[in-house]
Chains A and B, each alone.
Chain A
Amino acid sequence: MLLKNLARLLLVLTANAALCASQNHAYDGAWWQATGRDQHLGWLAGYIVCTSEPAKKAFTGFSEYTLEPKVTDFYSSRPNAINLKVSAVVLKLIRARAVTPQNQAGGEHAGFDGEYWRQVPRERVGIVEGFLACHQEFEIEKGSFSKPASRYAAQISRWYGVDPNDPAVINLRRVSVPIEKVLLRFKDRPHGPGD
């Protein structure tokens, strides 16, 4: 009986550890160099989606397209920084540039809506990963996300009405809803996600 309980406890601990590992993915230089440009762009976009709204970080003058080569160069030229988190590199790059107050005003969501989501099929999982990394990093009190990023990506696509057989199709009534708001619909709830 004792052995059986011990085994059960071990199983639970292992499962939790695995889940935590999947959620606390080490988005560092090793991950960056092991993944491709599409995933980089998606991750950065998701990070910007998160920081531009809840975390209120200034990304003036930057986008995923300008940051991606800079982050790649950063890791390429600094082999010792392989364990440095991508978010730390991003924030370092952003802080290096002076931001004038008037430039901080602008679009609330900077184009990260259903139309953006529709156009970047290969970056969707990365967007969720980047968003969740930021969400976790800044301990944003908007709920928790316990499922794999790919699951959220599929849910978001369904919500937007993206047709997997026809990329030109999307639900026009939902196309302008920001990605972040859609993702927050699927956060953990006592009664399950609100899909």
Chain B
Amino acid sequence: MSFDELDDSAAGDAGRADLAPSPPQVRGYLSALADAYGLPRNLVQAVARTASGFDANKISAQPQETFGDSAREFDPENKSYGLMQVSDAHIGQTVRDPNGEPFRIGQNVKYDWKANARAGVALLAQQHQLAQLEQPYASPREHAQQASLDYLAGHTLSHSATLPAAAETSTTSANPAERDPLLDYAPSGQRQPQPIPMPQPRTDSAPAETMPYQPMERPQPSYPARPLRFGRKPSLGDIFAMPEFSRQPRQPSLGDILLLQNASQQAQPTALLAAQASSTPPSGSQRKADDAGQTASPAPPAQAQQPVLQRPAQNSPKPLRSVSPPKSAVEQQSGVPQKPASQAPSTPVDMQRSAQAQRGHDTALRQILIDVQNNALQNPAFAPNRAAGTTYCNAATLKVARQMGAPTKGVLTDGKGNLVNANTQARNLGNSSAYREVTPTEAQALANQGELSIVAWENKTGGSGHVATVRPEGVSGDNPPKGSSGPLLSNIGNTIGVLGQNYAFRKDMEVHYYTPR
């Protein structure tokens, strides 16, 4: 659905940009946007309520995040506007409409409440998508929780990861229980994070019992448990006191299916899935090990837990097969292993379904990587400080890595989670067991699949080094300089943009590429 159609159909007589829309107009429009993006209506409504109290004319000062210290000074230049409190920092960012088409957040978010709602919900949808990818085992409630927290606390991707590391880890802990600010609100039975069973690694050649992918059902619109009166000072508790956020049986996600396949084949999961798997269980010791830069822990022993996804007993178990998507030229050259290959497919339907799921997963991962990189490229916090002569390639790379679920502690940060300089990052990447070195061709192939690859140069003469992330090829809007060669880089430093390795690095610079194991 396009925005124009949405404006025509959803808001009724609110077809124009009223300065003071009525509450039904606002609610109707937000609900229509939520439906268009596939977001829970209550999530959008509650975020708008929390952000602005549904005040379309609200303007507030935004904290300006700074590097080097944990202080957040209020910058009168950076304000937030309207219903969804879209900030100055978001203006100019590219987000996606419900059809997936990119659009740029414009100045009109300051005075057009619908434009403000569109931009805010698009940013919220981005957070929600990321939450689903980062936490495949989490419930819809937890996805909504993470998305709303990232939106409200950090005000979208461009801010959340620029917070000082300590603050960030405290707000985006891998343990959902630690992230939940609603413990005081939730019933006691829901306070403890429920352990999520991991799939059993298969030790024999028998196919895993799986069920085909089913899209997650959108929660039906429901009324909040506590009546939310328009204008009442909202709280985060309102968001999750709603029935649709209560824990309920979960439908399988793409991540579930792929992980089951991986487990059944004893294959190494992709880096991101491994990171997700390692971050999902609430085991403190396991999380510490992961944070310390260790290789993602394997799934718990098969005997300990039951598989998450099982076919109903009345159905004859049929394995879900995976088929590698068509290889691109660079993939064929590089020999980068495709996503876990399969045993012989049982039925064409299973095969087709699995292939579709695989392609969908790759496409989603790639788009996430692109969006995360775009936000870093457009983030003013990473622009060079010309007066001080400082650049922020290290902070930008850390942000992208974190957003992609890659291990960062002890690699891109020190052991306490504090940002380290590019030289240290480059050195750590070479010594880390959480990363492996890959060739430039492999790095490009991985990026094309949506996997994180980092290029690093350690300046051994004592000057500044440089790090960057590898950019997928063929991204619409990218326009690297003529003559670019080597992997494409999302380069943030003294210059910012997408360019080839030969522009980002001189010939005399010895660069290395790494990807999470």
Chain B, residue nearest A123 (CB): B495
Chain B, residue nearest A61 (CB): B385
Contacts of A110 in B (CB 8 A): 384-389
Quick check: B92 and A69 within 8 Å, CB to CB? yes
Quick check: B380 and A66 within 8 Å, CB to CB? yes
Chain A, residue nearest B110 (CB): A77
Give the one of A66, A77, A175 with max B CB within 10 A. A66
Quick check: A73 and B107 within 8 Å, CB to CB? yes
Alpha-carbon separation in the docked complex, A109 to B107 (Å): 33
Alpha-carbon separation in the docked complex, A16 to B380 (Å): 43
Per a CB cutoff under 8 Å, which of B384, B506, B508 touches A111?
Answer: B384
Tell me which residues from 470 to 517 in chain B have a Cβ below 8 Å from any Cβ of chain A.
481-484, 491, 494-496, 499-500, 502-508
Quick check: B390 and A106 within 8 Å, CB to CB? yes
Contacts A62-B386, A77-B107, A106-B389 given; does A96 touch B481 at CB 8 Å? no
Per a CB cutoff under 8 Å, which of A65, A106, A168 touches B502?
Answer: A168
Alpha-carbon separation in the docked complex, A109 to B386 (Å): 8
Alpha-carbon separation in the docked complex, A88 to B500 (Å): 35
Alpha-carbon separation in the docked complex, A169 to B387 (Å): 27
Alpha-carbon separation in the docked complex, A120 to B503 (Å): 8
Shortest beta-carbon distance from B508 to chain A in Å: 7
Per a CB cutoff under 8 Å, which of B383, B491, B508 touches A172?
Answer: B508
Contacts of B506 in A (CB 8 A): 115, 118, 168-170, 172, 175
Quick check: B389 and A109 within 8 Å, CB to CB? yes
Counting CB contacts under 8 A, is A33 at the interface?
no
Alpha-carbon separation in the docked complex, A66 to B383 (Å): 7
Contacts of A76 in B (CB 8 A): 107
Contacts of B389 in A (CB 8 A): 106-111
Contacts A73-B91, A111-B494 given; does A168 touch B386 at CB 8 Å? no
Contacts A107-B389, A109-B389 given; does A168 touch B503 at CB 8 Å? yes
Contacts A66-B380, A111-B384 given; does A96 touch B77 at CB 8 Å? yes
Counting CB contacts under 8 A, is A119 at the interface?
yes
Interface SS majority for chain B: loop
Chain A, residue nearest B491 (CB): A119
Shortest beta-carbon distance from A51 to chain B in Å: 10
Counting CB contacts under 8 A, is B391 at the interface?
yes
Tell me which residues from 101 to 121 in chain A have a Cβ below 8 Å from any Cβ of chain B.
103-112, 115-116, 118-121
Quick check: B386 and A111 within 8 Å, CB to CB? yes
Counting CB contacts under 8 A, is A97 at the interface?
yes
Chain B, residue nearest A52 (CB): B386
Contacts of A115 in B (CB 8 A): 494, 506
Alpha-carbon separation in the docked complex, A172 to B482 (Å): 22
Contacts of A169 in B (CB 8 A): 506-507
Contacts of A149 in B (CB 8 A): none
- Identify 13 residue pairs between A and B in the complex whose beta-carbon atoms are under 8 Å apart, listed by A's number: A48-B386, A58-B387, A64-B386, A65-B383, A77-B107, A104-B387, A106-B387, A107-B389, A111-B386, A112-B386, A121-B503, A168-B502, A175-B506
Known interface pairs A77-B107, A119-B503, A167-B502; 5 further A-B residue pairs with C-beta atoms within 8 A, sorted by A's residue number? A59-B387, A65-B380, A66-B383, A106-B388, A110-B385
